[in-house]
Amino acid sequence: MVVTVTGDVDRWIRQFRPANESGPRLVCFPHAGGAATFFHPLSQALADVAQVVAVQYPGRQDRLAEQPLTSIEALADVVAANLMPFGDRPLALFGHSMGSIVAFEVIRRLENTPGAPEPLILFPSARPAPSRGRPSSVHSRDDDAVLASIARLGGTDPRILDDPEFRQMILPAARADYQAIETYRSEPGSVINAPMRVMIGDSDPAVTRDEALAWRPHTTGDFDLTGFPGGHFYLSTQLTAVADRIRTGLLGVATR
Protein backbone atom coordinates (compact mmCIF):
# COMPACT_ATOMS: atom_id res chain seq x y z
CA MET A 1 0.00 0.00 0.00
CA VAL A 2 1.25 3.50 -0.84
CA VAL A 3 1.57 5.75 2.18
CA THR A 4 1.63 9.43 1.19
CA VAL A 5 3.24 12.30 3.02
CA THR A 6 0.90 14.88 4.45
CA GLY A 7 -0.19 18.15 2.90
CA ASP A 8 -0.59 19.32 -0.69
CA VAL A 9 2.70 17.71 -1.76
CA ASP A 10 1.20 14.24 -1.51
CA ARG A 11 0.21 14.34 -5.18
CA TRP A 12 3.88 14.63 -6.13
CA ILE A 13 5.89 12.88 -3.41
CA ARG A 14 5.05 9.30 -2.43
CA GLN A 15 6.26 7.17 0.46
CA PHE A 16 5.84 3.40 0.42
CA ARG A 17 6.75 2.37 3.95
CA PRO A 18 7.18 3.92 7.40
CA ALA A 19 10.02 6.41 7.46
CA ASN A 20 13.49 5.51 8.66
CA GLU A 21 13.77 7.54 11.84
CA SER A 22 17.31 8.85 11.51
CA GLY A 23 18.64 8.54 7.96
CA PRO A 24 18.52 10.96 5.03
CA ARG A 25 15.57 11.24 2.66
CA LEU A 26 16.20 9.79 -0.81
CA VAL A 27 13.91 11.24 -3.49
CA CYS A 28 13.59 9.02 -6.57
CA PHE A 29 12.65 10.27 -10.05
CA PRO A 30 11.14 7.85 -12.60
CA HIS A 31 12.06 7.23 -16.22
CA ALA A 32 9.97 8.34 -19.21
CA GLY A 33 6.59 6.63 -18.97
CA GLY A 34 7.42 5.49 -15.45
CA ALA A 35 5.70 5.99 -12.13
CA ALA A 36 6.58 6.25 -8.46
CA THR A 37 5.77 2.59 -7.84
CA PHE A 38 8.85 1.59 -9.89
CA PHE A 39 10.90 2.40 -6.80
CA HIS A 40 9.00 0.30 -4.29
CA PRO A 41 11.64 -2.51 -4.34
CA LEU A 42 14.42 0.05 -3.82
CA SER A 43 12.58 1.58 -0.88
CA GLN A 44 12.48 -1.85 0.76
CA ALA A 45 16.16 -2.49 0.06
CA LEU A 46 17.22 0.83 1.62
CA ALA A 47 14.82 0.89 4.56
CA ASP A 48 17.70 0.45 7.00
CA VAL A 49 19.50 3.62 5.95
CA ALA A 50 17.05 6.12 4.43
CA GLN A 51 13.49 7.28 4.04
CA VAL A 52 12.89 6.55 0.36
CA VAL A 53 10.20 8.55 -1.42
CA ALA A 54 9.39 8.82 -5.12
CA VAL A 55 8.05 11.51 -7.41
CA GLN A 56 4.73 10.83 -9.10
CA TYR A 57 4.51 12.75 -12.37
CA PRO A 58 0.99 13.70 -13.57
CA GLY A 59 -0.80 11.66 -16.23
CA ARG A 60 -0.27 8.17 -14.82
CA GLN A 61 -1.71 5.74 -12.26
CA ASP A 62 -3.75 7.70 -9.71
CA ARG A 63 -2.92 10.95 -11.57
CA LEU A 64 -4.15 9.57 -14.89
CA ALA A 65 -6.80 12.26 -15.30
CA GLU A 66 -4.23 15.07 -15.01
CA GLN A 67 -2.50 16.60 -18.00
CA PRO A 68 1.12 15.39 -18.22
CA LEU A 69 3.84 18.03 -18.39
CA THR A 70 5.89 18.26 -21.57
CA SER A 71 9.09 19.98 -20.43
CA ILE A 72 11.88 19.12 -18.02
CA GLU A 73 11.89 22.71 -16.81
CA ALA A 74 8.21 22.57 -15.83
CA LEU A 75 8.70 19.26 -14.02
CA ALA A 76 11.78 20.54 -12.19
CA ASP A 77 10.06 23.77 -11.17
CA VAL A 78 7.09 22.05 -9.56
CA VAL A 79 9.07 19.24 -7.92
CA ALA A 80 11.59 21.70 -6.45
CA ALA A 81 8.70 23.73 -5.03
CA ASN A 82 7.19 20.62 -3.47
CA LEU A 83 10.51 19.68 -1.87
CA MET A 84 10.81 23.01 -0.08
CA PRO A 85 9.12 21.68 3.11
CA PHE A 86 11.58 18.75 3.32
CA GLY A 87 14.37 20.44 5.21
CA ASP A 88 13.87 18.37 8.34
CA ARG A 89 16.54 15.83 7.31
CA PRO A 90 19.38 15.54 4.78
CA LEU A 91 18.16 15.24 1.20
CA ALA A 92 19.55 13.03 -1.60
CA LEU A 93 18.23 12.52 -5.12
CA PHE A 94 18.22 9.45 -7.38
CA GLY A 95 17.02 9.64 -10.98
CA HIS A 96 16.63 6.87 -13.53
CA SER A 97 16.94 7.71 -17.23
CA MET A 98 14.83 10.86 -17.84
CA GLY A 99 14.53 11.11 -14.07
CA SER A 100 18.29 11.78 -13.86
CA ILE A 101 17.86 15.00 -15.81
CA VAL A 102 14.80 16.07 -13.82
CA ALA A 103 16.69 15.42 -10.57
CA PHE A 104 19.71 17.39 -11.81
CA GLU A 105 17.52 20.38 -12.68
CA VAL A 106 15.73 20.14 -9.33
CA ILE A 107 19.08 20.33 -7.52
CA ARG A 108 20.04 23.36 -9.61
CA ARG A 109 16.87 25.09 -8.44
CA LEU A 110 17.25 24.11 -4.79
CA GLU A 111 20.89 25.22 -4.69
CA ASN A 112 19.88 28.62 -6.04
CA THR A 113 16.87 29.16 -3.76
CA PRO A 114 17.51 30.80 -0.38
CA GLY A 115 16.19 28.67 2.46
CA ALA A 116 15.74 25.55 0.32
CA PRO A 117 17.02 22.15 1.46
CA GLU A 118 20.56 21.63 0.18
CA PRO A 119 20.88 18.20 -1.48
CA LEU A 120 23.72 16.02 -0.21
CA ILE A 121 24.27 13.94 -3.33
CA LEU A 122 22.86 13.04 -6.76
CA PHE A 123 22.68 9.50 -8.15
CA PRO A 124 22.11 9.75 -11.94
CA SER A 125 21.24 6.41 -13.54
CA ALA A 126 21.05 5.18 -17.15
CA ARG A 127 21.29 8.60 -18.78
CA PRO A 128 23.88 10.58 -20.76
CA ALA A 129 25.02 13.80 -19.12
CA PRO A 130 22.85 16.90 -19.56
CA SER A 131 25.30 18.22 -22.15
CA ARG A 132 25.33 14.94 -24.09
CA GLY A 133 21.69 14.27 -24.92
CA ARG A 134 21.10 12.25 -28.09
CA PRO A 135 18.96 13.87 -30.81
CA SER A 136 15.65 12.04 -31.22
CA SER A 137 12.02 12.77 -32.09
CA VAL A 138 10.04 9.78 -30.85
CA HIS A 139 7.42 12.06 -29.29
CA SER A 140 6.41 13.43 -32.70
CA ARG A 141 5.96 10.02 -34.31
CA ASP A 142 2.96 7.67 -34.28
CA ASP A 143 1.80 5.55 -31.37
CA ASP A 144 3.53 2.42 -32.63
CA ALA A 145 6.87 4.23 -32.68
CA VAL A 146 6.44 5.42 -29.09
CA LEU A 147 5.56 1.92 -27.95
CA ALA A 148 8.45 0.42 -29.93
CA SER A 149 10.87 2.77 -28.16
CA ILE A 150 9.51 1.68 -24.78
CA ALA A 151 9.80 -1.98 -25.76
CA ARG A 152 13.36 -1.57 -27.07
CA LEU A 153 14.64 -0.46 -23.68
CA GLY A 154 12.97 -3.34 -21.82
CA GLY A 155 11.47 -3.02 -18.37
CA THR A 156 7.90 -3.51 -19.58
CA ASP A 157 6.27 -6.88 -20.23
CA PRO A 158 5.63 -7.07 -24.02
CA ARG A 159 2.25 -8.68 -23.33
CA ILE A 160 1.21 -5.53 -21.49
CA LEU A 161 2.27 -3.34 -24.40
CA ASP A 162 0.13 -5.52 -26.69
CA ASP A 163 -2.99 -4.83 -24.60
CA PRO A 164 -5.05 -2.14 -26.40
CA GLU A 165 -6.55 -0.74 -23.20
CA PHE A 166 -3.18 -0.48 -21.48
CA ARG A 167 -1.61 1.09 -24.56
CA GLN A 168 -4.17 3.87 -24.60
CA MET A 169 -3.67 4.39 -20.87
CA ILE A 170 0.10 4.87 -20.99
CA LEU A 171 0.58 6.60 -24.33
CA PRO A 172 -0.28 10.21 -23.35
CA ALA A 173 2.14 10.26 -20.41
CA ALA A 174 4.85 8.40 -22.32
CA ARG A 175 4.61 10.76 -25.27
CA ALA A 176 4.71 13.80 -22.98
CA ASP A 177 7.78 12.43 -21.19
CA TYR A 178 9.53 11.77 -24.50
CA GLN A 179 8.74 15.33 -25.57
CA ALA A 180 10.16 16.65 -22.30
CA ILE A 181 13.46 14.82 -22.57
CA GLU A 182 13.85 15.14 -26.35
CA THR A 183 13.36 18.92 -26.30
CA TYR A 184 15.54 19.49 -23.22
CA ARG A 185 18.70 21.49 -23.67
CA SER A 186 20.95 22.12 -20.70
CA GLU A 187 22.08 25.66 -20.09
CA PRO A 188 25.77 26.15 -20.97
CA GLY A 189 27.91 25.61 -17.91
CA SER A 190 25.14 23.95 -15.88
CA VAL A 191 26.82 22.79 -12.67
CA ILE A 192 25.67 21.70 -9.23
CA ASN A 193 27.62 21.54 -5.99
CA ALA A 194 26.31 18.17 -4.86
CA PRO A 195 28.63 15.21 -5.54
CA MET A 196 27.54 12.60 -8.08
CA ARG A 197 27.57 8.82 -8.10
CA VAL A 198 26.61 7.85 -11.65
CA MET A 199 25.36 4.33 -12.45
CA ILE A 200 24.78 2.56 -15.77
CA GLY A 201 24.11 -0.89 -17.15
CA ASP A 202 27.04 -2.17 -19.18
CA SER A 203 24.82 -3.20 -22.11
CA ASP A 204 22.41 -0.27 -22.04
CA PRO A 205 21.69 0.92 -25.61
CA ALA A 206 20.64 4.35 -24.30
CA VAL A 207 23.95 5.42 -22.73
CA THR A 208 27.64 4.69 -23.29
CA ARG A 209 30.38 4.89 -20.69
CA ASP A 210 31.72 8.06 -22.31
CA GLU A 211 28.28 9.67 -22.21
CA ALA A 212 28.00 8.76 -18.53
CA LEU A 213 31.49 10.08 -17.74
CA ALA A 214 30.39 13.39 -19.28
CA TRP A 215 28.40 14.04 -16.07
CA ARG A 216 31.75 14.88 -14.42
CA PRO A 217 31.93 18.56 -15.48
CA HIS A 218 28.39 19.11 -14.19
CA THR A 219 29.42 18.98 -10.52
CA THR A 220 31.96 20.83 -8.41
CA GLY A 221 31.85 17.94 -5.96
CA ASP A 222 33.20 14.40 -5.96
CA PHE A 223 32.32 12.11 -8.85
CA ASP A 224 32.45 8.45 -9.70
CA LEU A 225 30.88 6.05 -12.18
CA THR A 226 29.79 2.47 -11.51
CA GLY A 227 28.75 -0.03 -14.17
CA PHE A 228 26.48 -2.99 -13.50
CA PRO A 229 25.66 -6.04 -15.61
CA GLY A 230 22.50 -5.43 -17.60
CA GLY A 231 20.68 -3.07 -19.90
CA HIS A 232 18.61 0.04 -19.41
CA PHE A 233 16.67 -1.45 -16.51
CA TYR A 234 19.65 -3.07 -14.82
CA LEU A 235 18.12 -1.92 -11.49
CA SER A 236 15.57 -4.72 -11.68
CA THR A 237 18.18 -7.49 -11.85
CA GLN A 238 20.92 -5.81 -9.80
CA LEU A 239 18.77 -4.42 -6.99
CA THR A 240 20.99 -5.55 -4.12
CA ALA A 241 24.19 -4.22 -5.73
CA VAL A 242 22.51 -0.93 -6.65
CA ALA A 243 21.13 -0.53 -3.13
CA ASP A 244 24.60 -1.20 -1.71
CA ARG A 245 26.08 1.47 -3.99
CA ILE A 246 23.48 4.01 -2.91
CA ARG A 247 23.91 3.05 0.75
CA THR A 248 27.67 3.59 0.51
CA GLY A 249 27.16 6.93 -1.19
CA LEU A 250 24.65 8.11 1.41
CA LEU A 251 26.83 7.05 4.33
CA GLY A 252 29.87 8.67 2.72
CA VAL A 253 28.32 12.12 2.48
CA ALA A 254 26.44 11.83 5.77
CA THR A 255 29.70 11.32 7.71
CA ARG A 256 31.49 14.38 6.26
Most distant CA pair in the chain: distance in Å?
52
Q: Cβ contacts of residue 164 below 8 Å, gap of 6+?
A: none
How many CB atoms neighbour CB 208 within 10 A?
14
Q: Measuring CA to CA, which residue among 201, 196, 194 is closest to residue 242?
A: 201
Please identify which of the residues 22, 43, 71, 97 carries the catalytic annotation: 97
Q: What angle do CA 135, 136, 139 make, to 5 degrees?
A: 145
Q: What is the DSSP letter of 133?
A: P
Continuous H helices in 112-189: 143-153, 158-161, 164-182
97 is catalytic: yes
Which residues belong to the active site?
97
